[in-house]
Amino acid sequence: MAATIVLALTLPPGRPFEGAPRLLGDRWLSDAILNVLLFVPLGAALGTGLLPTRRLVLGAMVFSAGIESAQLFIPGRDASVPDVACNTMGAALGIALWRGRRRYLSPAGSPSGRRERRRR
């Protein structure tokens, strides 16, 4: 589902967010932040699997590079290497957040928190 949403937002011709207000006033920074945020849910979805994190991040990078390559041939789209980097960072962040969720969600003094620490 997350991959479908990413494809739906990144592959149609034109500029879907042309009139949208810019974050922090800078177009490049806004695009970078949006690219990171777009791939966080995909990373979280990937993080639910059993594959090693490195392999998942590499897969997200290849997926992003494929999108950027396709955008070379789509009118109104701009493909760039920084977009691949931001997309990959977003996916890595999503994977890290999903895989570390127990540490963030269970208080250190709770029984589940103590059980997690003992297991490591």
- Residue pLDDT, tens place only, 94-117: 999 999 998 878 766 565 555 555
Domain region containing 49: 24-119
Which tokens sit at 77? Answer: 């789209």
Domain membership flag for residue 85? yes
Residue 18 is classified by DSSP as T
53-71 and 27-47 are packed helices; what angle lies between their axes, rounded to 10 degrees? 130
The residue type found at 95 is I
Which tokens sit at 57? Answer: 């991040």
> Looking at residue 22, what is its pLDDT?
60
> Looking at residue 14, what is its pLDDT?
81
> Looking at residue 30, what is its pLDDT?
82
Domain membership flag for residue 101? yes
∠ CA(64), CA(65), CA(67), 5° rounding?
65
Domain membership flag for residue 14? no
- Which has more pLDDT, 66 or 19? 66
Considering its fold, how many domains does the chain have in total?
A: 1
Which tokens sit at 112? Answer: 């589940």
> Looking at residue 60, what is its pLDDT?
98
Domain membership flag for residue 87? yes
Domain membership flag for residue 28? yes
Domain membership flag for residue 41? yes
The mean pLDDT value for 65-78 works out to: 94
* Mean of the per-residue pLDDT values of the chain: 86
**DSSP helix/strand/coil, 119:** helix
Q: How confident is the model at residue 31 (pLDDT cuts 50, 70, 90)?
A: confident
